[in-house]
Structure 1
Amino acid sequence: MAVDYTTEASAAPESRFDYYWNQHGEWVEEPNVRRGGESGVQRVRAANGQLLYVKRQTGHIYRSFSHPLGRPTVLRERDALQGLAELNVGVPKLVFCGAQRDPQHQWRALLVTESLDGFEEIDKWYAGRTAEQHGEALHEAVFKELAATLARMHRGRWQHSCLYPKHIFVRINGIGVDARPEIALLDLEKCRQRFSATRAAQHDMKQLRRHSSFSDADWNKLLYFYKTVFGSPLKGLE
């Protein structure tokens, strides 16, 4: 279903919320029940051809010291999208985010982002395109860009909290000697800032190590590039 979000961009927030709430498309993540409510993601296409992802939630909240009564998780994800973008960390472009209570005082919440055109999961890229296929220089450049992206996030004290390879995407811009990798991170619903950059880094990098299919040589290469940007090595990850 087409969504004319270029027109909606100038509308009042309440009108934009109702507009996006009433749009429907293909489910890419069927609504699941958790956190006291439901959450799912639909794919819709804007009138200008841009593919959008609409996360739709009802009563789906998290609690924290700052929000003991509960707050929609998309608001935490919006904060992360904005915070990471300020650190030059690749994330989906935010189109709209909003939350309101229905007549029964239950939260309804929306997060609308643009698709990451041309990107693919890094594990798929890693499995299907070996260094021999596209050259050692580009293979190494991907790990260098990934390391720099993660280090910038962690130096800003942001912890992804769900750093699995399926949430790391890569796109190669250009061809031949002009090819340059670009990294983007998805699924920031659990992302939060820690008091310590080192704690954020330890959590995420250990999680990535457990779940990635990187060879020992490539993992050590990633750590080498990472610590040059982060500024210090991380214990227990060698």
Structure 2
Amino acid sequence: MSRLPFVAVNAHDVLSRHGLDSFEALWTLDLAAVDAPNTGRGGWSSVHRLQLEDVNGELQSFYLKRQDNHCTRTLHAPLGEPTFAREFRAVQQYAQLGIPALEAAFFDRRESQGHKQAVLLTRALDEYAPLDEWFDRWQELSALQKRTLLQAAGALVRALHNAGVIHNCLYPKHIFLKLHGDGAGARLIDLEKTRGAWFGQRDFVRDLETLNRRSTTPSRTQRMRFMLAYFGLRRLDADSKALVRRLLARQAGKVAKR
């Protein structure tokens, strides 16, 4: 029995309008890569920007990801599968759990002459910028804008952990944020390493420590504001203080090993 590709309802019309609603059409599409292909894992993986005009004459922007024999072994696929298949499952999981993240527009995979291949098309988050880019212009932002961004990031990670899931590679570049009139929006990207929080709070601390260690720009007060948003508190209580101590102890251990 053949398996149909995934095509998002809100992308079907624009993809079919340009004849790009199949694996082969997207696989053979000639586009410049955003950066150099990743040639690890015994194959290759590439990312391309794609813009398509819809029936109203407006441009819809996507990122087209293609890979050949760029595989990983998991409990779900002990013999290996394209890493984009794993990311696509995570995108679907996040949507089901109500965790804001990137959106899939198309996904399909195939085996061709012994090669495991996958295509994943996601919506571009053009109105957003990754947290590390916000940090690059931190001094240009008002105190209110900084507070708003940190609160949005903290609430996003809280939603993730409340769902019993960890990102497992939580760098500032993976948290996308946008400022708007009544606050900030936040989404997570690069979900291929996502997994359940098998070890409970220990896994949550791991996510938080990674993000804290990679975020060198915010002040101590600003980091505390993030943590308060993460806990959903106005002031740290005994349990939240204990978690913060575990986070700092883990970070100190990482630094000591360098």
TM-score, L = length of structure 2: 0.78
Match of residue 154 from structure 1: 161
Identity in percent: 29
Match of residue 6 from structure 1: 13
Superposed CA RMSD in Å reads 2.5
Unaligned 5+ runs, structure 2:
1-10, 249-258
1:151, 1:197 → 2: CA distance? 13
1:207, 1:133 → 2: CA distance? 24
Match of residue 50 from structure 1: 60
Structure 1 residues 38 and 188: CA distance shift in structure 2, 3 A: same
Structure 1 residues 82 and 218: CA distance shift in structure 2, 3 A: same
Match of residue 130 from structure 2: 121
Unaligned 5+ runs, structure 1:
none
Match of residue 253 from structure 2: none
Please state how far the C-alpha of 1:47 moved relative to its aligned partner: 2.6
Asked if the contact 2:14–2:53 (Cα under 8 Å) also holds between the matched residues in 1, the reply is no
1:40 to 36, 39, 46: 46
3-state DSSP class of the match of 1:32? coil
Match of residue 227 from structure 1: 231
Structure 1 residues 194 and 57: CA distance shift in structure 2, 3 A: same
Match of residue 77 from structure 1: 87
1:26, 1:162 → 2: CA distance? 27
Q: Which has the higher strand share?
A: 1
1:146, 1:5 → 2: CA distance? 31
Please state how far the C-alpha of 1:137 moved relative to its aligned partner: 3.6
| 1:212 equivalenced with 2:215 (yes/no) | yes
1:100, 1:9 → 2: CA distance? 20
Match of residue 106 from structure 1: 115
AA at the equivalent of 1:165: P
Structure 1 residues 65 and 123: CA distance shift in structure 2, 3 A: closer
Asked if the contact 1:157–1:196 (Cα under 8 Å) also holds between the matched residues in 2, the reply is no
Match of residue 184 from structure 1: 187
AA at the equivalent of 1:39: S
Match of residue 200 from structure 1: 203
Stretches of 4+ aligned residues off by more than 3 angstroms: 7-10
Asked if the contact 2:197–2:204 (Cα under 8 Å) also holds between the matched residues in 1, the reply is no
